Structure 1
Amino acid sequence: MNDDNSRELYDRALSVMPGGVNSAVRAAIEPYPFFVQKGDGGHVIDADGNRLVDWVMGLGPLLLGHDLPDQVRAAIQQNASEGPMYGTPTEVEVDLAEFVVRHVPSVEKIRFVNSGTEATTSAVRLARGYTGRNKIVVMQGGYHGAQESTLVEGDAENPQPSSAGVPHSFAEHTLPVPFNDEDAMRAVFEEHGEDIAAVMTEPILGNYGIVSPEDGYLEFLRELTDEHGSLFILDEVITGFRVGGLGCAQSEFGVTPDITTFGKIIGGGFPVGAIGGKAHIIEQFAPSGPVFQAGTFSGHPVTMAAGLETLQFAAENGVYDHVNGLGERLRTDLSEIVADQAPEYTVVGTDSMFKVIFTRAGPGKNSLDEACTDGCRQNPTCPRYDHCPKNAADVKNAETERWRRVFWGQMKAQGIFLSQNQFECQFVSYAHTDEDVERTLEAYKEAL
């Protein structure tokens, strides 16, 4: 593939932007990222005219793909033409709030913001303000945006900032524990229970290779937080309106959080975040309560219209049947390819999310007859159970450099755009086709 224009654009970008990018993950592609000119259905066309099947979908927001249906496009254009924004409420933000409250069982009220990071930042502040406590429990390797309270690594005994610029005094109030480890979580509550404002987790680790919860783990967190008077925050920025359809992942797993954070799909491809939950908790936000939260662009009418029309289209046109069906086929066929060519690797994902984790060990090709066929489900009877990732550390210990430096480039050379590293999700959209899936599977066979 020719990439002269992308190389020239990156050279220019390096002169005016740190690392040549505006989000760090985009620079994971080496020696430089390709620049996209436009999207087309389930594909992107780069600055050099190369056409690639796009399984990144903007890192998740594009449930419908790059070509928006007429009703979605019309709503966006109408709101944009009537004025950029106003600094006052508009009807469309009420409409979107009513839609979310109607479909997500745990959400009684909602506050819209401008990004997933802003949503999780506000949720942490809300939990602290509501409980009068300081500490937040998070999962090691879980990602909740670029905010001080969660850019923390280490363990509960020795939390450390994971970024320069985060004071140790901030990190001291964040307690990281391994995902799926009930004993570690109990130990943290035994030590700090009276000062834990909330446990915050993704229902599925989505920024660390896709790691599913073991059976009963989310219910355990719900019970433990109730027992100690803490809040349970479910970060559905990635999974919201993708896993579990309109009810989100919490409906699929059967858990009811106190607070849910949203982003990505809820804005239909435009900048968005939201914090929803029980009315008496969400009402602690200003002006009805003492927890300050505000934003000039919050509830932006174009974003609200895009989100509302996207979700209404999904509800009325079989979108979830389509994307989940293609996702199941990808995972099922990838499981067969991996079993034959790289039996130590693990296929993960659910609904319209998928990934192959380059795990280093497995039960062997001849022991996979009873293995999960639709992505890892943490099934104790599966022969892969002792080898599949249970937490972020397991994914980090995979062959992440082989995935990024060798495999990713081989897939791109065949016209397949995968997420920029081993850790980010890959997503199916309504615009993807059976032909896209077939082409992608053939590329996996070649690259693996």
Structure 2
Amino acid sequence: MNHDRSRELYDRALSVMPGGVNSSVRATRPYPFFIERGDGGHVVDADGNRYVDYVMGYGPLLYGHDAPEPVQAAVQKYASAGPMYGAPTEIEVEHAEFVARHVPSVEMIRFVNSGTEATVSAVRLARGYTGRDKIVIMQGGYHGAQESTLVEGDAQHPQPSTSGVPEEFAQHTLPVPFNDPDAVTEVFEEHGDDIAAVLVEPVLANMGIVSPVDGYHETLRDLCDDHGSLLVFDEVITGFRVGGLQCAQGKFGVTPDVTTFGKIIGGGFPVGAIGGKSEIIEHFTPAGDVFQSGTFSGHPVTMAAGYEYLNYAAENGVYEHINRLGAKLREGISDICADQAPEYTVVGTDSMFKTVFTRDAPDTLEGQCEGGCQQRVDCPRYDHCPKTGADVANAETERWERIFWHEMKEQGIFLTANQFESQFVSYAHTEEDIERTLEAYKEAL
């Protein structure tokens, strides 16, 4: 493939943008390819190269790059009527009503502008509602670029994970290993009266995709109930992708007090949201005493796109299609890995997938989770598959980034550029796309 135009654009970008990009994950080595346009389940770069796209904007594009006609019509209608007003619109109410009808935890919702803004607001809300300061997070979980969760270490020695976050901020955050009920129980035994909330992705989705072990979320629910803390599910990635319109909380049968959303809920436009029990969400101003506001919140174009996005999914069997393709892809990759790299673990659920370059294989693969790791105790991989973010970090992460990603790119398959970010199947992908991808995996592995 020729990438001269992308190289030229990157050279220009380095002069005017830090690292030549506007989001760190786009800075692939030696330079990123620049996208010119999307086409269904594909993208075309500035040099005319065409790729099967599984990045899908890092999750928002449930339908790929060609949104259904009702979505396109709604976007054009609301954009042409005047892009925003600084006043409420009916479409905000319709979208809020739709979400409240379908997501188990949501009675009320506040729309904001990004997933990060949603989690920032949710943490502030939890602290304001409970009158407490400490937040429990999962090691390896991701909740946006916010000071309260850019924290690493453990509950005894939390520290900022980036410069620019004061050490004092990190002392209010308690990181624990995902899928370790004993660890989080110990933290509650020591700090329970000071914990405002547990903030957790139902599936770790920025760390190679790690599913919960049986009973883990139920343990979090019980601990929060026992100590008067809030359980906050970060469904920015899993929302309206895992578990369909009920989201991951519906799939797992655990209802949080508060849920954060982003990505799909905005139909491909910048968005975030915080939903939950009315008695909690009403603590946001102007109804309550927890300040939250934003110039572009509830943007009518975004609200229209998000509402039509979800309404179309409700009426057209979208999840059945993409989940079937997702399962076929994961099963196919599992078969390839069994032959060529039996130590690797295929992970994911519904329309999410990833291959974690784990280092150890069991003695036999008979009876393994073929459609992606589900943390089954009777699976031969159970003692080898990732349970925590640290397990994913200990995989062959450099091989993914330096070799595998480039091999797949040269075969026309666009994957997320590191070992950690999720990948997504869309409604626009086809059986032919899946077969082509599996052939590329055979070559690249």
Pairwise TM-score range, normalised by the shorter structure: over 0.9
| Alignment match, 1:183 | 182
Alignment of 1:204-219 (within 5 A): 204-219=203-218
Q: Percent identity over the alignment? A: 76
| Alignment match, 1:223 | 222
| Alignment match, 1:381 | 378
| Alignment match, 2:23 | 23
| Alignment match, 1:11 | 11
Alignment of 1:142-221 (within 5 A): 142-221=141-220
Q: How far does residue 333 in structure 1 lie from its aligned partner after superposition?
A: 1.0
Structure 2 unaligned segments of length 5 or more: list them. Answer: none
> In the aligned structure 2, how far is the partner of 1:429 from the partner of 1:200?
28
> In the aligned structure 2, how far is the partner of 1:224 from the partner of 1:261?
20
Alignment of 1:253-268 (within 5 A): 253-268=252-267
Q: Which amino acid aligns with 1:72?
A: V
Q: How far does residue 362 in structure 1 lie from its aligned partner after superposition?
A: 1.0
Q: How far does residue 87 in structure 1 lie from its aligned partner after superposition?
A: 0.0
SS at match of 2:109: strand
SS at match of 2:405: helix
> In the aligned structure 1, how far is the partner of 2:311 from the partner of 2:189?
45
| Alignment match, 2:406 | 409
Structure 1 unaligned segments of length 5 or more: list them. Answer: none
Q: How far does residue 84 in structure 1 lie from its aligned partner after superposition?
A: 1.2
| Alignment match, 1:281 | 280
> In the aligned structure 2, how far is the partner of 1:220 from the partner of 1:195?
18
Q: How far does residue 247 in structure 1 lie from its aligned partner after superposition?
A: 0.4
> In the aligned structure 2, how far is the partner of 1:65 from the partner of 1:310?
12
Deviations 1:222-277 (A, max 9, x none): 00110001000000000000000000000000001000000000000000000000
Q: Which amino acid aligns with 2:63?
A: L
SS at match of 1:155: coil
SS at match of 2:231: strand
Q: How far does residue 134 in structure 1 lie from its aligned partner after superposition?
A: 0.2
Q: How far does residue 336 in structure 1 lie from its aligned partner after superposition?
A: 0.7
Tell me which of 418, 430, 436 is aligned to 1:421: 418
Q: Which amino acid aligns with 2:428?
A: A
Count of matched residue pairs: 445
Alignment of 1:37-48 (within 5 A): 37-48=36-47
| Alignment match, 2:303 | 304
Alignment of 1:44-443 (within 5 A): 44-364=43-363, 367-443=364-440
Q: How far does residue 387 in structure 1 lie from its aligned partner after superposition?
A: 0.2
Q: How far does residue 338 in structure 1 lie from its aligned partner after superposition?
A: 0.6
Q: TM-score, normalised by structure 1?
A: 0.99
> In the aligned structure 2, how far is the partner of 1:416 from the partner of 1:131?
47
> In the aligned structure 1, how far is the partner of 2:220 from the partner of 2:72?
41
Q: How far does residue 190 in structure 1 lie from its aligned partner after superposition?
A: 1.0
Is 1:446 aligned to 2:443, yes or no?
Answer: yes
Q: How far does residue 105 in structure 1 lie from its aligned partner after superposition?
A: 1.2
SS at match of 1:158: coil
Q: Alpha carbon RMSD of aligned pairs, Å?
A: 0.5
Q: Which amino acid aligns with 2:105?
A: S
Q: Which amino acid aligns with 1:11?
A: D
Q: How far does residue 420 in structure 1 lie from its aligned partner after superposition?
A: 1.4
Deviations 1:322-353 (A, max 9, x none): 10000000011111111111000000000000
Q: Which amino acid aligns with 1:208?
A: M
